[in-house]
Amino acid sequence: MIKASELNNILGNPSVIPEETPLTLQRRTDKNVDFFIAPSVVREKLEAHGHLAQRDVIAFINLKGGTGKTTSSVTCARRSCDFGLKTCLLDIDAQASATFMLAQDQSETARPFIEFWDKPEEVSSALINIDAQLSLLPSSLDNSLLDLQLSRPISQKNAVKECCDELFKMGHDLIFVDCPPSLGAGVISTICASSKLIIPTTADSFALRGIDLTISETEAISEAFGMKPPKIFILLTHFDRRIKMSESVLADLKQRYGDRVIAQPIRTSSYFAQAQERNRTVFDFPKAKKAQLDYDFAVRAMLHLNPNNISDKTS
C-alpha cells in the first residue's frame, strides 16, 4: 500500500493528506510514524490533482529472454493496484510463468487467450480475480499456437486490442501484458494494442542487443499497420552496483536512450527468488525495501507520477 509520505511526495504538497483521517487504513499514533492510505483514497487524491491517466495498455517485451519480463509485469501490476487502479494482467507467454505466480491453483482449468481472441465478449468467463483490484487473463501452452490462429494481418492488428477494449468496458483502468521473448503474432498484436512498451534488460551484451531490435521492430510494426507507436521505456534489471559493468551499462543506456530509460534500476535482491517460490511479489515482504522502492519508482514513471524520472538511489 501507499504511505502518506509517498502520496504527499507525488502530489508535491505535504498538507494534502492530514496526519489523521478516517479514510486511512492505519491510524497514526506517533507523528514520527508513517501510515498507509487506502487505495480508493489514493486514487481519489491523485484524480483530484489531475495525476492519473486511465486506460493504459502496458506491454513488457524484449526479444531476448531472461531479462525479468514476467517478474516486472507481475510486480508492477500488483503495485499499480495500490494507486487505486483496477488492473488486469494479460499473460500471452506460453510458458505461463505469470499465471503460475498469481494463480497456480487455477492454472490447469484456466482459459488462455487463444480460446477467446476472436470472441472478446467471452473475456469475462476467462478472467481470474486475484483480489478486488487485480485480475488475470491466464496463459497455457496452447498460446504457443497463436501464430497459426493470428495469421491474418487484420487479426494481428485487432486481437489483443479488442480483448483490452472489453476489459476497459468491464471497468479496468490498466492492463499489463506479459509477452514471450519472440516476435510472434501475439507480440505483434500486443504492440498494436499498447500505449506503452517496457523493455526490461540486463547488463549483458545479448540483452542489450535486444533493445535496438525490439525498438526497430516495434516501429516497423506500427508503421505497417498505420498506428502511432507506443511510448517506450527501458528498465534495467538485475542491477548490482558491486559489478563495475552494471554502472557502466546504466550510464551508457542513459546516454544512448535518454529519458526512455527509467532512471532507477531494479537492484538484485534475494527476495525475488523467495517471492517466486511463494507465488507472491516483493511487496508482500516487509523487509524487501530496496526491491519495493525500485519497482515503485518504475510504476510511477510508467504512470507519469514521477515526471522528472530522476533518482540517485542505486546504492
How do residues 280-301 score in pLDDT, each as one tens digit? 999 999 999 999 999 999 999 9
- The per-residue pLDDT for 1 is 86
**Max intra-chain CA distance, the chain:** 62
**CA distance readout (Å), 18 to 14, 28, 31:** 8, 10, 11
- The per-residue pLDDT for 311 is 58
CA 105-278-62 angle, to 5 degrees, is 90
- Joined grid coordinates for residue 152: 491474418
**What's phi and psi for 264, nearest 5 deg?**
-95, 110
Q: Locate cell 498494436: which residue?
A: 192
- The per-residue pLDDT for 310 is 59
Residue 79 is which amino acid?
R
Instruction: Annotate 230-279 with DSSP letters as a single string.
Output: PEEEEEE-SB-TTSHHHHHHHHHHHHHHGGGB-SS--B--HHHHHHHHTT
Band of residue 16 on the pLDDT scale cut at 50, 70, 90: low
pLDDT tens string 190-231: 999 999 999 999 988 777 888 999 999 999 999 999 999 999
Checking if the pLDDT of 309 tops 80, the result is no
Q: Model's pTM, two decimal places?
A: 0.91
pLDDT tens string 95-125: 999 999 999 889 888 899 999 999 999 999 9
Ordered structural domains, the chain, with CATH: 1-51 (no CATH), 53-302 (3.40.50.300)
Residue 86 · residue 171 · CB < 8 Å: yes
